[in-house]
Structure 1
């Protein structure tokens, strides 16, 4: 147990360059507090002490702003950066070496029973404000861009952006975890540019037809 707690602290230093000392991390990092509270709540949940597990979960939510259902399964080296507004559902499964940012939701899409929350494989990064909804799988080594809404399966080694989320990079190679939030492809903006180009072409064609009609009318008058 203590080895796992130490590992949770060490991953903060690996992922956050602002971390300065063990004392600072242990006392002030809300993401770390939420993970530790969840590990305790999850043990109680697996032993069917559901009420006590939910109490610990809700107390943690009150102090950290991070809501993790006690039933969620979380692997090693899980890192929550900042963390305010993070929500992780009951049947969510998270692999090893996963990083998520503030405002991320790993939620369901309705009132269905059974597995209704995402499965996040190893080495996944989910950026600020992203929503991953439903019983879908995010493949290993993938990235979810900030503000994306993901409703479909994501293959391994992919980068997803947009609403709804679309795979924009998939090259079969491991993707570096240094996600540049400001430099990602935007399929929505690309489509808007295509529509603008089409509109310009239509206007040009109308102008051409107008000129030809005026020319034909001039010949008719002669």
Structure 2
């Protein structure tokens, strides 16, 4: 791999996705810069069948960066890991282009599968901090996975997923992932609480109305 070319590519990606960067030289301080660089080297060795050498490189990178990427994973262009500590990417994971992962993300297996046992992520995807995407499932293009979510089922294109287990809460066409917002995502739990609150208020109003009618009928019977 041409290191100078790699620096230029990663500089553009990091400057585009992280507003904290102030100079090009800072890219050398990013754990993801080195984790991805060593992954690319290890992946080439893995493809040639040099499994021990590939794993040796990837494990050394994991110790230094806190980011564990198995050399067997397939990762596209424009890949970015923000902060990065605790990120784990399994051997049979496939990641498309323009994908961003935050710290604590796991693209892992379920512990009961063989062969293809890790997720496949499409293009233009953001996976929020601490999210777990597990098993041989597919996350479609243009998706957001909310922070802390646990996703164990396929997700269609253009979707936003939140919760444990992860549920699709927004599905609209042509969703853009350029906005790396992890906060202003729908909250299905809060929405259910609001529904319960509204239903409770309707029941209380109905009950009050019935009690008033019973009291009026009782007073009418006493008078008569």
Relative distance call for 1:30 and 1:57 in structure 2 (3 A) is same
- Residue deviations 1:27-52, cap 9 Å, x none? x1101111111112212222222222
Contact 2:10 2:33 in 1 (8 A): yes
The answer for unaligned runs of 5 or more in structure 2 is none
In 2, Cα distance between equivalents of 1:205 and 1:110 = 51
Shifted more, 84-93 versus 167-176: the winner is: 167-176
1:195 aligned residue:
196
SS in 1 for 2:34: helix
Deviation at residue 220 of structure 1 after TM alignment: 7.2
CA RMSD between the two structures: 2.2
2:24 aligned residue:
22
Contact 1:125 1:144 in 2 (8 A): yes
Contact 2:143 2:177 in 1 (8 A): no
SS in 2 for 1:23: helix
Contact 2:126 2:145 in 1 (8 A): yes
Please report the TM-score for the alignment, with normalisation by the length of structure 1.
0.88
Contact 2:10 2:27 in 1 (8 A): no
**TM alignment of 1:20-169, pairs within 5 A:** 20-26=22-28, 28-169=29-170
In 1, Cα distance between equivalents of 2:166 and 2:159 = 11
Contact 1:125 1:177 in 2 (8 A): no
In 1, Cα distance between equivalents of 2:26 and 2:174 = 36
SS in 2 for 1:201: helix
Residue 13 (structure 1) aligned with residue 15 (structure 2): yes
Deviation at residue 195 of structure 1 after TM alignment: 1.7
Deviation at residue 139 of structure 1 after TM alignment: 1.3
In 2, Cα distance between equivalents of 1:96 and 1:176 = 12
Deviation at residue 101 of structure 1 after TM alignment: 1.0
Contact 2:144 2:177 in 1 (8 A): no
- Residue deviations 1:24-82, cap 9 Å, x none? 212x1101111111112212222222222222222211111111111111111111111
Please report the TM-score for the alignment, with normalisation by the length of structure 2.
0.87
